[in-house]
Structure 1
Amino acid sequence: MALLLLGTFAPVRITPPDPPPAVSLIHFQPVPVEAGRPDDLRVGKLLFLGGWNMESNDWRFGGISAMHVDGGLVTAISDSGWLIRFPVPVAAGTQRARIEAVRKGSGAPVNKAQRDVESLIINGRTAWIGLERQNGVWRFALPEWRELGGARPAAMRKWEENNGPEAMVRLPDGRFIIFSEGDGGITEALMFPSDPSVPGARAIRMRYRPPAGYRITDATLLPDGRMLLLNRRISFVSGMKAKLAVAPVPPPRTGVLIAPQEIAAFAPPLTVDNMEAVSVTSEAGRTIVWLASDDNYMPLQRSLLLKFALEE
Structure 2
Amino acid sequence: MKRPVILDCDPGHDDAISLILALSSTELDVLAVTTSAGNQTQAKTLNNALRVLTLLGRHDIPVASGAPKPLARELIIADNVHGESGLDGPKLPDPAFAPVAQTAIELIAEKVRQSDTPVTLIPTGPLTNIAIFLTAYPELHANIHSIVLMGGAAGAGNWTPAAEFNIFVDPEAADIVFKSKLPIVMCGLDVTHEAQIMDEDIERIRKIDNPVAQCVAELLDFFMIYHRDPKWGFTGAPLHDPCTIAWLLKPELFTTTDCWVGIETKGEYTQGMTVVDRYQLTSNPHNAKVMFNIDRPGFVDFIVDCLEKY
TM-score normalised over the length of structure 2: 0.30
The structure in which a higher percent of residues are strand is: 1
TM-score in terms of structure 1 length: 0.30
More helix by share: 2
